[in-house]
A and B are shown apart, each in its own frame.
Chain A
Amino acid sequence: LAKTTQPISMDSYEGQEVNITCSHNNIATNDYITWYQQFPSQGPRFIIQGYKTKVTNEVASLFIPADRKSSTLSLPRVSLSDTAVYYCLVGENYGGSQGNLIFGKGTKLSVKP
């Protein structure tokens, strides 16, 4: 089980790009990197997942260097509604019978006006 390390908290202002980096030095060959977002008193919500290089969707981008020992979640032009906790998960992700879903403490992002 790959251990992840992320900053405990980050502050930003509306309209800025936010990059949250997650370290996972002992990531295994079969491991995927997945990010979830959680608003207060709500269940986490999937944001993005990747294996290598770069993945982009309508919400965020995920950058993964060649050694895969870290990953960066990039949120373009954040708004107040992006204030949330962001979790980085690393693990095998094939098949519902496995599908590692162990959450760390996450990064609490505060977006200010």
Chain B
Amino acid sequence: DSGVTQTPKHLITATGQRVTLRCSPRSGDLSVYWYQQSLDQGLQFLIQYYNGEERAKGNILERFSAQQFPDLHSELNLSSLELGDSALYFCASKRLTGLNTEAFFGQGTRLTVV
């Protein structure tokens, strides 16, 4: 158990719909990262938040948005869903304490758009 919790584990929805994925980081971790992984593809970095503020942006579509709340949990919102958005979505958290060694990943949310 990495200590990072993602909900829901599975999600099936129709094209054009909007969904929200939730990530609870490890206790004390200030940074949250979101990734998308399509079938047999690598991890695509979407966005990073640090202590409530957006810190870095990757290949995140305009239809996608995220935020980190005061309690440090984060949500990734996906709207106007398309079939190609079907993927595993991972979040990871990292601590801010001097030399930081590793990020901890959640088990992911598998999104299927039909």
Q: Which of A18-26, A40-48, A67-75 contacts B (4 or more CB under 8 A)?
A: A40-48
B77-114 at interface with A (beta carbon < 8 Å) = 88, 90, 92, 94-108, 110
CB distance from B111 to the nearest CB of A (A): 13
Distance between Cα atoms of A95 and B103 in the complex (Å): 11
Q: Which residues of B contact A96 (CB under 8 A)?
A: 29-31, 50, 94-97, 100
CB distance from A92 to the nearest CB of B (A): 10
A-B contact count (CB 8 A): 73
Interface band, chain B: 20 to 34
Query: Does A13 reach chain B (CB closer than 8 Å)?
Result: no
Report if A41-B108 is in contact (Cβ < 8 Å); known contacts: A94-B100, A101-B48, A101-B103: yes
The residue in chain B whose Cβ has the minimal distance to the Cβ of A100 is B56
Complex contact A49–B101 (CB within 8 A): yes
Complex contact B30–A94 (CB within 8 A): no
Report if A43-B2 is in contact (Cβ < 8 Å); known contacts: A99-B94, A101-B33: yes
Contact with B along A96-107 (1 / 0, CB 8 A): 111101111110
Name which of A42, A95, A99 has the most chain B CB atoms within 10 A of its CB.
A99
B33-61 at interface with A (beta carbon < 8 Å) = 33, 35, 42-43, 45, 48, 50-51, 55, 58
Q: Which residues of A contact B100 (CB under 8 A)?
A: 93-96, 99
Q: Determine chain B's interface SS by DSSP, over half rule.
A: loop
CB contact between B99 and one of A38, A45, A93, A103 (< 8 Å): that residue: A93
The residue in chain A whose Cβ has the minimal distance to the Cβ of B91 is A43
CB distance from B34 to the nearest CB of A (A): 10
CB distance from B66 to the nearest CB of A (A): 15
Distance between Cα atoms of A101 and B96 in the complex (Å): 14
| 4 additional A-B residue pairs with CB within 8 Å, beyond A44-B90, A96-B97, A102-B45 | A42-B108, A45-B2, A49-B102, A94-B98
Task: Report which A residues bind B (CB closer than 8 A).
Answer: 34, 38, 41-46, 49, 87, 93-99, 101-106
